[in-house]
């Protein structure tokens, strides 16, 4: 049986937005495509790169405004616009608002004539679409393109802001720095573990880490910071036809 498998692996949320809006192609963006921004507290244990404090924005509300500006320049559903405007005023996106945009995403995919997409939910409350496979290449391609379109129209911009709220409160632009900061905050790695350590371990062919990458909280840190390639749940493939 010839089965087409598509995996969604993105980098930082804003890098993913720019990439996928341009090509509507899941998987076209590298999970480490964002500009490097190591934490000032994540000193290099290997002298591979210096510490750096570059962030996505100066504050949560500034980042929400940045994402809202991007949303205004694209064909985005009004619900996303309203939620982002509210987030700028309140400094918060509620779980209910987050659930709403992903529910709208699913309905959009269904309305375009596809099976209902499968969403993986993580311990920090975030969602990410499962990888999928299709016996019929045409159905798989249609599902891929429709899912990309629906995700950016109905969910991606709110998701980008919700991600920093949930597990990147320091707004680190570099996914590796954000992930390691999250791992430290949740006491999932040793205190001297750095972003350089993470990058070195991630570059290994078998992706072996000194921490348990299958820990649900570890996976949540990775998803919140835009890295999905090492997520064990990506072994779940949704059959779309």
Nearest-angstrom CA–CA distance, 99 and 155: 9
How many of the other CB atoms lie within 10 Å of CB of 187? 9
Q: What does the pLDDT read at residue 227?
A: 82
Report pTM. 0.81
Q: What is the pLDDT of residues 99-143, one digit of tens each?
A: 999 999 999 999 999 999 999 999 999 998 888 888 888 988 999
| Integer angstrom CA distances of residue 117 from 24, 34, 102, 146, 236 | 17, 27, 10, 11, 12
Nearest one of 162, 39, 173, 179 to 97, comparing CA atoms: 162
As a whole number, mean pLDDT of residues 47-58 equals 68
Polymer length in residues for the chain: 241
| Joined tokens for residue 106 | 């699913």
Nearest-angstrom CA–CA distance, 96 and 123: 16
93 has pLDDT over 90:
yes
DSSP 166: H
DSSP 1: -
Range of 31-35, 140-144, 166-170 with top mean pLDDT: 166-170
Q: What is the pLDDT of residues 196-241, one digit of tens each?
A: 999 999 888 677 899 998 899 999 999 999 887 655 555 566 777 7
């Amino acid at each position: 049986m010839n089965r087409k498998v598509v995996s969604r692996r993105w980098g930082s949320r804003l890098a993913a937005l720019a990439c996928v809006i341009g090509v509507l192609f899941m998987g076209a963006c590298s999970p480490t495509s964002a500009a490097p921004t190591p934490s000032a507290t994540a000193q290099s244990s290997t002298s591979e790169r210096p510490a750096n404090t570059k962030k996505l924005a100066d504050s949560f509300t500034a980042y929400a405004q940045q994402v809202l500006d991007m949303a205004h320049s694209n064909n985005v559903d009004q619900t996303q616009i309203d939620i982002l405007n509210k987030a700028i005023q309140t400094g918060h996106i509620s779980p209910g608002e987050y659930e709403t945009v992903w529910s709208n995403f699913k309905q959009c995919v269904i309305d375009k004539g596809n099976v209902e997409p499968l969403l993986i939910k993580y311990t920090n409350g975030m969602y990410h679409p499962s990888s999928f496979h299709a016996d019929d290449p045409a159905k798989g391609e249609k599902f891929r393109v429709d899912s990309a379109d629906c995700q950016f129209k109905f969910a991606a911009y709110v998701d980008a802001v919700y991600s920093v709220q949930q597990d990147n409160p320091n707004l680190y632009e570099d996914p590796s720095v954000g992930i390691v900061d999250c791992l430290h905050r949740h006491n999932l790695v040793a205190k001297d573990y750095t972003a350089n350590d993470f990058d070195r371990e991630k570059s290994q062919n078998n992706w072996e880490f000194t921490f348990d990458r299958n820990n649900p909280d570890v996976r949540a840190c990775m998803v919140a910071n835009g890295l999905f390639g090492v997520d064990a749940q990506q072994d779940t493939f949704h059959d779309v036809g």
